[in-house]
């Protein structure tokens, strides 16, 4: 049995050496990072965060588009018409009279946010007739004639489409969508930052646990070598080495498992930072210890969370968008009452263009119109349905805001309790580690003078190892509880925004 245990220990040592060799080949010179580097790496390389940033930019572009919703519109048109008309002359014969007409027009229009529509148009025409005319004066009928018409028209709605409430609805919706996209990005950034920092500290703990297990394995190996020397000198029986070999084999397995867990967590961190695309390998800086967190005042943390929590602000933005949408629901199906008016002036010249300008607005060649246009839908079913649906969206968004607020209160309370519990665990674990180290040292001294057996030494060393792992675990749990509190209160988002991109 002793030979089998020895062979098992040798094979475990060879396996560990091979694993270390492969790890060294595939992870040559890993990039050592600190927790302060993680936020910068996430902000620069995480694809999910970049997607949220692009959505925010797209929403900003839509706002700019809605700000230019009512530009001046210039419309130009022109055409050429040729016409030939048969007619009967006084002598009883049939002749043809033709005409060529060129028409040019321009119109400048503007729609105002209050619903008013304005348009200024100018049309000009030139016509030349050819052939026999029934008119007595043939000298003037074949001369070119010029005509011009200027018209100013306006339409002002009083019911449907009246006021900025309707005219700027699309702009307000675009601005609400922009705020919603910004809050969505903030929420995504805060959650990703928390995940990345938790992944970093979990990797830090895995690396520290691997080193603690490795140190315990080295101690067990040294104890086995010392026991083997005593056996060779005849001072101890061969059976006394069996417990040491069993412990060494167990620790070898623990070291391999800890190394595999460390590598798995490293890959997760590389994925969150986007460095996995560059085949870069990350390692935590073990010189950076998990920071101890000061106690937070509950009421202040809750107030800050309700004001700055990205999740609450995102739901609040959705509520505002729903409320604004409800203000104009069914607007296209309301009654319509428009005031319509226009003023028109016409001029004409024969064989000359100048009278078109000098006679514009002079004399009786003008016309004007002022009237009302009314439209009444004979059924309000669709209008009422749209308004009811919009109001339900408001109620749904309001309920979601209440739920988000309640969840934020619960998250703050949970995070505060988690921080306090983790602080207490750290203090107790450090006390336990101190006592365990003292006990292990005393047990080793007793064993040196023959007052303690190996089992007592082994148990004391195992207690030190377990206590060191609990200290590291408690410190990491304290950091993670603090990160959860920082995410809820918006502190973590501020750190992300301040991180250089």
Q: Domain-by-domain residue ranges, the chain?
A: 2-62+172-324+391-498, 75-86+95-112+116-157+340-375
CA distance 84 to 151: 30
User: Which DSSP letter does residue 134 get?
Assistant: S
pLDDT in tens, the chain (501 residues): 445 444 444 544 444 444 443 344 344 578 888 888 888 888 787 787 777 777 777 878 888 887 777 889 999 999 999 888 887 777 777 777 788 899 999 999 999 988 899 999 999 898 888 766 555 444 445 778 888 888 999 999 999 888 888 888 888 888 888 888 888 888 888 888 899 999 999 999 999 889 888 888 888 888 788 878 888 888 778 887 888 888 889 889 989 999 999 999 999 888 888 887 777 788 898 888 888 877 777 788 888 888 888 888 889 989 999 999 998 888 888 899 999 999 998 888 787 777 777 776 566 678 899 999 999 988 888 888 989 999 999 999 999 999 999 999 998 999 899 889 988 999 999 999 999 889 888 887 877 777 766 667 777 888 888 898 999 999 999 999 999 998 888 888 888 777 665
Question: For position 99, what pLDDT does the model report?
Answer: 84
336-350, strands of its sheet edge to edge: 73-88, 94-111, 117-131, 145-157, 336-350, 366-375
Closest by CA position to 247, among listed 277, 278, 223? 223
Question: For position 28, what pLDDT does the model report?
Answer: 59
pTM for the model stands at 0.69
Q: How far is CA 276 from CA 26, 194, 216, in A?
A: 13, 19, 33
Q: Kindly calculate the radius of gyration of the chain based on its CA atoms and give it in whole angstroms.
A: 43
Q: Which fold has domain 2-62+172-324+391-498?
A: Outer membrane efflux proteins (OEP) (1.20.1600)
CA distance 431 to 90: 130
Residue 420: Cβ-neighbour burial (10 angstroms; 0-12, 13-18, 19+): middle
Q: Kindly write down the DSSP assignment for every residue of 319-386, as one continuous string.
A: HHHHHHHHHTTTGGGS-EEEEEEEEEEEEEEES-STHHHHTTT-SS-EEEEEEEEEE--S--HHHHHH
Question: For position 97, what pLDDT does the model report?
Answer: 77
Question: For position 393, what pLDDT does the model report?
Answer: 93
Alpha helices in 115-168 (DSSP H): 138-141, 164-167
């Amino acid at each position: 049995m002793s030979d089998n245990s020895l062979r098992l220990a040798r094979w475990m040592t060879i396996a560990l050496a091979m694993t270390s060799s492969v790890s060294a080949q595939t992870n040559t010179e890993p990039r050592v990072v600190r927790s302060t580097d993680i936020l910068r790496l996430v902000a620069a390389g995480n694809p999910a965060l970049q997607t949220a940033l692009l959505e925010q930019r797209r929403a900003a572009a839509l706002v700019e588009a809605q700000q230019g919703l009512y530009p001046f519109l210039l419309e130009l048109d022109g055409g050429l018409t040729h016409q030939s008309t048969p007619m009967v002359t006084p002598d009883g014969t049939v002749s043809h009279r033709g005409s060529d007409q060129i028409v040019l027009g321009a119109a400048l229009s503007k729609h105002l946010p209050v619903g008013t529509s304005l348009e200024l148009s100018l049309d000009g025409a030139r016509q030349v007739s050819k052939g026999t005319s029934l008119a007595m004066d043939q000298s003037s009928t074949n001369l070119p004639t010029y005509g011009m018409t200027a018209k100013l028209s306006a339409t002002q709605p009083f019911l449907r489409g009246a006021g900025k409430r309707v005219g700027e609805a699309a702009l307000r919706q675009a601005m609400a969508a922009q705020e919603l996209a910004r809050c969505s990005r903030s929420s995504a950034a805060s959650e990703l930052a928390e995940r990345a920092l938790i992944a970093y500290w979990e990797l830090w703990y895995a690396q520290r646990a691997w080193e603690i297990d490795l140190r315990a394995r080295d101690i067990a190996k040294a104890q086995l070598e010392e026991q083997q020397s005593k056996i060779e000198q005849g001072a101890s029986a061969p059976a006394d080495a069996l417990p040491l070999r069993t412990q060494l084999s167990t620790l070898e397995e623990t070291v391999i498992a800890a190394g595999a867990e460390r590598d798995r967590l490293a890959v997760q961190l590389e994925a969150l930072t986007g460095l996995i695309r560059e085949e870069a390998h990350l390692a935590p800086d073990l010189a950076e210890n998990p920071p101890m967190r000061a106690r937070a005042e509950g009421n202040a943390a809750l107030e800050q969370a309700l004001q700055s929590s990205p999740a609450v602000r995102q739901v609040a933005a959705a509520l505002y968008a729903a409320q604004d949408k409800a203000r104009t629901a069914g607007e296209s199906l309301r009654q319509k009452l428009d005031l319509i008016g226009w003023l028109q002036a016409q001029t004409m010249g024969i064989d000359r263009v100048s009278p078109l300008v000098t006679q514009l607005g002079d004399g009786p060649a003008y016309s004007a119109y002022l009237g009302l246009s009314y439209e009444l839908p004979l059924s309000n079913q669709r209008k009422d349905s749209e308004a009811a649906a919009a109001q339900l969206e408001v109620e749904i968004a309001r309920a979601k805001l209440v739920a988000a607020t309640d969840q934020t209160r619960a998250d703050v309370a949970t995070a505060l309790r988690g921080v306090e519990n983790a602080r207490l665990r750290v203090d107790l674990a450090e006390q336990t580690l101190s006592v365990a180290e003292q006990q292990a040292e005393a047990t080793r001294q007793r064993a040196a003078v023959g007052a303690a057996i190996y089992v007592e030494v082994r148990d004391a060393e195992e207690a030190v190892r377990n206590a060191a792992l609990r200290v590291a675990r408690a410190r990491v749990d304290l950091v993670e509880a603090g990160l959860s509190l920082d995410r809820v209160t918006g502190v973590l988002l501020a750190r992300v925004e301040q991180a250089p991109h």
